[in-house]
Amino acid sequence: MDYRDSAEETKQKLETVSSTFCLAKWNMVSMHLTNGKTHSCYHPPTHDIPLEGLSENPGLLHNTPQKIEERAKMRKGERPDGCSYCWRIEDAGHTSDRHYRSSEWWNSPDFEKIATNKSLDKTITPAYVEVNFNQACNFKCVYCSPHLSTSWQEEAEKYGAYILKDAAHNHLGALTDYGLMPKKVSQKENPYVEAFWKWWPELYKTLKIFRMTGGEPLMDNNTFKVLDYVYHHPNPDLELSITSNLCPPKQELFDRFLTQVKKMETAHHTVKCFVPDPKNGTEWKEWQHYIIGDKNKRLYHSELPSIEQENIPELTESGKSKKDGGFSYEFQCTAPVMKHFSLFVSCDSVGPQAEYIRTGMDFDVLDTNVRTFLRETNCTNITIINTFNLLSIPGLQNFLEWILDLREEFAYDKQNDIVFDVPGQKPIVKPRSQRIWFDIPILHTPSWLSIKMADSEMITMMEHSVEFMEKNIQGDDYSTSFRGFKQYEIDKVRRDLDIMRQGMEQSRLNTSMIRFAQYVDELDRRRNTNFKETFPELINFYERCKNEQ
């Protein structure tokens, strides 16, 4: 069953509870520890984490009063206002992230538990945790803000807010009043960071996905503290990930990160295994999937090689026969300390256009680091996140060609078998997999960068991109299936095209066009860039925006 079919099946299951039920509201959390904000996933607006009681109950980082109220609404079929991203997509007749997220492997097995146990509305340990430890960032993305980037904050302190039609954009005073700017305390004194590390050992036990964002996480020591903890506490069910610009201010930070991931892939384990007596009804194939560690967890999730009884390694003193005919033994193996490692790389176009959108990027450095990471690691993949905005449209086909080029280099038949040695036995071979993914979430704010402003020329560009994807759809066999585009990826781009065609209400469009021209003019003044040279495809649109003033 593919991702799209799974989402459709899950949609029917969610309907048995209510028409608005979403497992992510329970099982997923994004935490911004710089300013004490949280949300269930990255679509709803953030809200405050209460300080009262946090030191005694760090689970409040997730189970806030607002989320408890929203969960109750979802059980009754009501729509929480903060989840409007999905409501808009569903009202347009499309499958939303509510269905996709609820269908994913880390979430869907908990459906019955969450659907039937209302006590979990108030206290649940999430399976998917996303955390932002720090706003430190060397980028100034055009749609970002000083509360998420120190580089943006420095620019705002130097030049002030962007003064646009009837608006002051990225005003430090307003951001402070809204509670979005980081707390004026050191990381060591931040009560939310302290609460996280207090919660972490308990949270870690049942984690399925842990994702570190920023800012730029490679600029934060908490990132490397997490990586070190996972190395010393293997978790076979954990998918660990980082969202990075992959262009840190010092290349040594990338090198340090790469070294740590490689170390985590080749950890040495002492394995203790109990072998039941096959005569008691347990077939060899049933137990050989499991390696029992010192905390009764599997150290590696894939199948062990087939082991014949006569080839069991020499028994240690602890391997004496049991009364039921079974016995235990120990052996050494080399295996990852986690199920998988994913790297999410933010990039909204290619070349100079990508560098304009994400000021601070060197696209060639990013491309080199992406390929280096994939060549020098094994149990990893990369997802390129294109936060799809107006400036992404002209370069979309070039972006898609870049994805195809990466998929060609790291396709199934270009990969080596991933082998982990188990002395005295056949090696463990991890199946090859798709290592290049991309997502294309829609940007909604600021409105003057929304794809809903697109004119007929941009819609035509988008149509050509969809046609390009359809000509390069993935094949059915393994030798080709990791090269082209998946059907659900094409569906997501079509969804964005449909939203572009819907357009924007006229009065709002006029205001957004004025602000767009004012914004790029001020960007060019502050950053010594040239919009017209970088985006020649948008010159006509820019001139029409100027004429609105």
Helix, strand, coil in percent for the chain, rounding step 5 = 45, 15, 35
Identify the band that residue 419 occupies on the pLDDT scale cut at 50, 70 and 90: low
Q: What is the pLDDT of residues 301-321, one digit of tens each?
A: 333 333 444 444 444 444 444
Calpha distance 420→425 (Å, rounded): 11
Calpha distance 234→337 (Å, rounded): 4
Asked whether the predicted pLDDT for residue 242 surpasses 90, the reply is yes
Q: Which of 38-52, 292-306, 466-480 has the lowest mean pLDDT?
A: 292-306
Give pLDDT, residue 285: 35
More confident residue, 329 or 377: 377
Asked whether the predicted pLDDT for residue 265 surpasses 80, the reply is yes
Give pLDDT, residue 368: 98
Calpha distance 289→304 (Å, rounded): 5
- Closest CA relative to residue 27, chosen from 123, 91, 132: 123
SS3 309: helix
Q: What is the pLDDT of residues 162-216, one digit of tens each?
A: 999 988 999 999 988 888 888 765 556 899 999 999 999 999 988 999 999 988 9
Asked whether the predicted pLDDT for residue 138 surpasses 80, the reply is yes
Give pLDDT, residue 333: 64
Give pLDDT, residue 271: 57
Q: What is the pTM of this model?
A: 0.82
Give pLDDT, residue 305: 37
Give pLDDT, residue 254: 97
Burial class (CB in 10 A: 0-12, 13-18, 19+), 224: middle
Number of Cα atoms under 13 Å in the Cβ half of residue 244: 23
- Closest CA relative to residue 404, chosen from 460, 350, 341: 350
More confident residue, 99 or 416: 99
Asked whether the predicted pLDDT for residue 287 surpasses 80, the reply is no
Cis peptide before 351 (omega within 30 of 0): no
Which residues, 6 or more positions from 477, have their beta carbon under 8 angstroms from its beta carbon?
none
* Structural contact between residues 324 and 280, judged by C-beta atoms closer than 8 angstroms: yes
Mean pLDDT of the 113-134 span: 94
Average pLDDT, the chain: 86
Identify the band that residue 300 occupies on the pLDDT scale cut at 50, 70 and 90: very low
Identify the band that residue 289 occupies on the pLDDT scale cut at 50, 70 and 90: very low
Q: What is the pLDDT of residues 146-164, one digit of tens each?
A: 988 999 999 999 999 999 9
Mean pLDDT of the 240-266 span: 94
Q: What is the pLDDT of residues 27-50, one digit of tens each?
A: 999 999 988 999 998 889 999 999
Give pLDDT, residue 414: 80
- Closest CA relative to residue 513, chosen from 452, 441, 429: 452
Give pLDDT, residue 421: 61
Share above pLDDT 70 across residues of the chain, in percent, rounded to a whole number: 84
Give pLDDT, residue 331: 57
Give pLDDT, residue 313: 45
Q: Which of 134-143, 469-478, 484-493 has the lowest mean pLDDT?
A: 469-478
Give pLDDT, residue 206: 87
Identify the band that residue 326 occupies on the pLDDT scale cut at 50, 70 and 90: low
SS3 273: strand
* Structural contact between residues 529 and 358, judged by C-beta atoms closer than 8 angstroms: no
